[in-house]
Amino acid sequence: MINVTLKDGSQIQVESGTTILDAAFGISPGLARAALAANVDGVLTELTQKIEKDCTVEILTFENKEAREVMRHTASHILAHAVKRLYPDSKLAIGPAVENGFYYDIDSETVFTPEILEKLENEMRSIVKEKLQLVRITLPREEALELMRERDEPYKVELINELPEDAVISFYKQGDFIDLCAGPHLPDTGRVKVFKLTSCTGAYWRGDSKNKMLQRIYGTAFSKKEELDAYLLMVEEAKKRDHRKLGRELDLYAIMDEGPGFPFFFSKGMVLRNELEGFWRELHRKYGYEEIRTPIILNEELWHRSGHWDHYKDNMYFTRIDDEPYAIKPMNCPGGILAYKRKMWSYKDFPLRVGELGLVHRHELSGTLHGLMRVRCFTQDDAHIFMTEEMMHSEIKGVIEKIDKIYKVFGFKYHVELSTCPEDFIGTDEMRALSEKVLRDVLEDINMEYVENPGDGAFYGPKIDFHLQDAIGRTWQCGTVQLDFQMPERFEISYIGSDGEKHRPVMIHTVAFGSVERFIGILTEHYAGAFPVWLSPVQVQIIPITDRVHPVVRDLHRKLTDAGLRAECDFRSEKMGYKIREAQMQKIPYMLVIGDNEAQQGSVSVRSRSEGDLGQSSVDDFIKKIKSEIELKI
């Protein structure tokens, strides 16, 4: 008999050759019915895997992210199967699970219209009802190539050709359908019960505009219909909140055809941006940071020295100056280290906290660009701390406290992930272990819940990632705290210790917004364009009822602007109701209506964007009220 240790530490015994699914039935039939995959000794595995030796097994259901991906990946195979049944001349490219769903890229003469997607959905339901087993098959490279050539799948042939000569290549077969895939998958198609095809867009093969444009069919899958309905409702709400749409309607920002991935910010967008950056500066000053600015173009050698060349060169922009190669910076860190090197520091100067709102450029593929969320130039709110090893714990705690304060201002909930060092980590095993332990110890010391994200750290060190949850439940990865022993070593920076000798400092890299542009996009969707008063580009719209009160309105406008408020006057010859609706559409927090009575009494009729008519108020009381809201950032 084989001993199987479960997640809760209990043990069961099974016969050799028992599948994980059969073992799950032995634990609980309900668990087995809900099971989608398993972790066996920490490795994601399908339920049909046989247990051959003592091991630790965790049965995974839809609540587990990895299990959701397994189910959705299986759903993508069901989609591809349906395409080949209905449109057999179509060629299959790739079909992975992605966040909240899956897609499949397909080369087909058939245009996948909404009507066609409905047909494909119905065929997918038929495949689900057939409960076809997913069987893993492995073949040597040449046999794999021959199989895909026989089936006339040129994209699969291309993928196989890139694998090593001695590679053993896996496929998954369901009925008469077979697809190149590493897996894992569900035991059979019948376990994908609740799904929806959501859209079809164009996508270049391998994201390269030089390649053929394919059709990308998107879909999603859930364990229950209620979950799918809630997700689709969220998607509809997200469409209304789309920052690209609201950016145009509110005249904040836009991406022009003449500059794909390079955002334009207009006057109102600049107000929003400046308020955010001002808030960042104010808070960082309170936390003892000095602000610097480094050049956006620096010699190419710098990026070799830092190690970024090996990881970013394909996403960098280059130029030549005086016959020397230069690069436009894709991040701020090396420039910040050069600023540190300008003089010799003492341990008495530490911790040295430095911040920079630095413009960086990265060449993103055209198919990945998305409004402000994925751009080619953006401003990182980088902060760097230079310190001794003894200061690491307290400084990391301080950074987490600072980031928490920032997110609370916007009402964001968040969860934290500890992203450990990747395989291409450039330091020693000792440095890997130490840096990961320091971050883990801080999180546990402050009782902060976190999940571990293996291998997703930076090439120079592990990091703590902050994932924000917006008003409709979506998550966005923004803030990071990265611990770095490697850059100080590569740049040979030092400080004079208490013993009078030179020592190597430790660095923290941290951002809160991540990208100012992306954070503005997130905020636009989070607030649906109705920014809090302190951020609103226009805080007050003054609406005169008659031309007779225009002089009074001008005086009021001057008084509001003198008080530091952002106010506009609507002098158009339109009805008052129309002007109020327009101000509401522009998401302006307050409207002040001025008629003959208000002009005579020196008062204003106040309308709130969210609460409607608030009645009359003196001008001074209104100014006091709105300035209080601005100060409290509500």
What positions carry a catalytic annotation?
Answer: 333, 362, 380, 382, 384, 463, 509
**End-to-end distance of the chain based on CA atoms, in angstroms?**
63
Strand runs (DSSP E) across 175-301, as ranges? 177-180, 194-204, 213-222, 253-255, 263-265, 290-291, 297-299
Determine the residue type at 524.
T
431's CB contacts (< 8 A; 6+ apart) are 485, 486
Angle at 26 between CA 25 and CA 28, to 5 degrees: 60
Structure tokens at 617: 């108020």
Compute the half-sphere exposure of residue 528: CA atoms within 13 Å on the CB side of its CA: 12
Provide the 10 A C-beta neighbour count for residue 356. 22
Element (H, E) at 510: strand 506-511
Angle at 283 between CA 278 and CA 284, to 5 degrees: 100
What does the alpha-carbon distance between residue 586 and residue 515 come to, in Å, rounded to a whole number?
25
Question: Do 227 and 194 meet the contact criterion of CB atoms below 8 Å apart?
Answer: yes
DSSP-assigned letters across all residues of 7-31: TTS-EEEE-TTEEHHHHHHHH-HHH
Provide the 10 A C-beta neighbour count for residue 79. 29
Angle at 358 between CA 355 and CA 363, to 5 degrees: 140
In terms of phi and psi (left: phi > 0; alpha: psi -120 to 50; beta: otherwise), the region of 288 is left
What does the alpha-carbon distance between residue 144 and residue 269 come to, in Å, rounded to a whole number?
54
Question: Do 304 and 282 meet the contact criterion of CB atoms below 8 Å apart?
Answer: no
